[in-house]
Structure 1
């Protein structure tokens, strides 16, 4: 069977002969890019990457469990990051919950209180900008 004959098969889950796989892997080992090796017979680049990974495992140069270990460690790290980000939000009061160290009554008292003179002064430019924006038909 020739190299070009294999690409003419119509099955989506093709079983390539071992000689074809070996030839493709030899081309990769010679330095040819995966895209070039995959394009001539019309096989998927992901298929070549899988063959290359399997070949490394067969030769004892890679561990099949290494990817699973890395994946588990990555998932654990992401969970820890999410946990720490939630803790930071709580400590900074971004969740609308009273800050750590403050009392509930103090939080609710301050939320019901009229704005201070300083808060009114700081809010005035925002009100002016909104009025100008509205007057210009929001342009």
Structure 2
């Protein structure tokens, strides 16, 4: 059985990224990740996301991604509602035809 690991708290992520950004000469990302008990790739992903969120690199921020995800959910819901209304309008127009 495969389980998805629990995400680390945002405060922990921020602390680790800050340590990695202020690392001393000779200290590698791999060492910092090992010191905190996380994978090197995980730390690199957190640093990349932090660079975008802090405006150091171009890209969509976590807030923008959340807003986009919410907007897409809302669009799907509105499309479903619109489809139901189309079906209802078609049904009601058939029911009101002469001879029925």
TM range (shorter): 0.3 to 0.5
TM-score (normalizing by structure 1):
0.36
Normalising by structure 2, we get a TM-score of 0.48
Q: Which has the higher contact order (CA 8 A, sep 6+)?
A: 2
